[in-house]
Structure 1
Amino acid sequence: MSEVSIFVDESGGQGGDSKYYVLTMLFHDQADDIAPIIDCHRKGLAERGLLDLPFHAGPLMNGHDQYEGMPLERRKAYFSLFFIDLHHLPITYQTFFYKRNEFADKEALSNRMRRDITTFLFDNLSFFQSFEKVKIYYDNGQQIVASALHAAIEYVLSTNSYLYRKSKNADFILAQTADFLCAIELVARKFDNSEASRTEEKFFGSARNFKRNYLKKVRRKLLRE
């Protein structure tokens, strides 16, 4: 059976104070084996003396959680290796942006997400209909995202063609990749608007360097109609 996975990640949090809310959907044809790439990534970690930690962009850049007390250069090594291995993953993605102050409440934001995802699915319907099963992986961390996803997918796709799977970031390299893509697109927006934090500037340098060294390469993975 032909199957495509959709891994979903968000940045901004429904209760946070971030100016932006970012939603990323990553797509993977399950016929494309990623096990060798995962093995290569783990080998790369070992060769650099890095622990095999689940990748989580926000805490990594800010030195929080499992990266607490880790020197900046070591955190950069984790980020760079994940970025290098991303190029070999047979994936595509799409990201949606929202400014919090443009929505009266969480329901309005969720409704806008639903419309955007619905439009995206219709625009790429032939791609999704080329698979017998669409599997959606999301941790249900944000109810506004879960509601938008269910409403859009169940409106566009036939009932027997989709399946939901609850996922944890630590369990799937593709969930971690969706997190990475979400972070890159958020940083891109902040650089565009001269809003990059000192931490982001330390990680990526100037806006020009970020676009040349990271964004340009990442966006080759965008799902094209």
Structure 2
Amino acid sequence: MADYGLPDVPFHAGPLLTGHDAYEGMSLSERKRLLGLFVIMTRRLPITYRTFVHRKSDFDDNRQRFEAQLKRDIVNLLLAHLSDFHSYGTVKVYYDGGQQIVTDALRGGIEYALSKDAIVYRDASPRDYRLEQVADFLCTLELTCEKFRNGEQTETDNKFFGDWKSFRVNYLKPIRRKRLES
């Protein structure tokens, strides 16, 4: 980032897009350049990812049904790739504890599908872990995809990603090559 004359700030998609927090006072072009560098870094990382998209409104504010669905999604993914997870001596789970329902579903699903002796949980702060920043970015892209599909994209989405075709070609398609199918 220093080579490009940009500040070295932890990536956080929401504030980057809206110009808040560490990005306050940065121009739109600087924030777009930061996003572009993060896209390049993410494309080069040897990672796979999977996101799950649910609308809370589909669960009629029933927290238990929503948590059960998230847990089921996690269990199904882990069981589909169980041999991959068993090839590791330890599976480390980094989560910032941002949403209790996600914390509960993660713990429940992971502990159901994997040996409790092979799991280590760690608190994660985006400032401390670049991969947490990557996870935030991937979730933002998948959420933006849903917004475009449903005609709910914002003016900010359009400023940063362009129209649906531009978003799909320049952001979603290259990143989805890393997507882990269930």
Q: TM-score range by the shorter chain?
A: over 0.9
Aligned to 2:151: 194
Aligned to 1:113: 70
Runs of 4+ in structure 1 deviating by more than 2 angstroms, as ranges, are 104-108
Aligned to 1:76: 32
Aligned to 1:155: 112
Q: 1:159: Cα distance to partner? A: 2.0
**Percent of residue pairs identical:** 49
For 1:147, the aligned partner's letter is: D
Instruction: Point out where structure 1 has 5 or more consecutive residues left out of the alignment.
Output: 1-44
Cα distance per residue 1:166-201 (max 9 Å; x no partner): 110110100000000000111111111111100100
Higher helix share: 2
What is the CA–CA distance in structure 1 between the aligned matches of 2:172 and 2:32, rounded to whole Å? Answer: 16
Aligned to 2:52: 96
Match for residue 18 of structure 2 among 62, 66, 82 = 62
1:178 aligns with 2:143: no
Aligned to 1:15: none
What is the CA–CA distance in structure 2 between the aligned matches of 1:157 and 1:71, rounded to whole Å? Answer: 46
| Native 8 Å contact 2:50 2:180 kept in 1 | yes
Aligned to 2:163: 206
TM-score normalised according to structure 1 size: 0.78
Instruction: Point out where structure 2 has 5 or more consecutive residues left out of the alignment.
Output: none
Structure 1 vs Structure 2 CA RMSD: 1.1
Q: Secondary structure at the match of 1:98?
A: coil
Cα distance per residue 1:33-77 (max 9 Å; x no partner): xxxxxxxxxxxx101211110000011001111111221111101
Q: 1:111: Cα distance to partner? A: 1.6
Q: Secondary structure at the match of 1:91?
A: coil
Aligned to 1:13: none
What is the CA–CA distance in structure 1 between the aligned matches of 2:171 and 2:42, rounded to whole Å? Answer: 11
Higher strand share: 1
Q: Secondary structure at the match of 2:49?
A: strand
Q: Secondary structure at the match of 1:97?
A: coil
What is the CA–CA distance in structure 2 between the aligned matches of 1:214 and 1:180, rounded to whole Å? Answer: 11
Q: 1:149: Cα distance to partner? A: 0.7
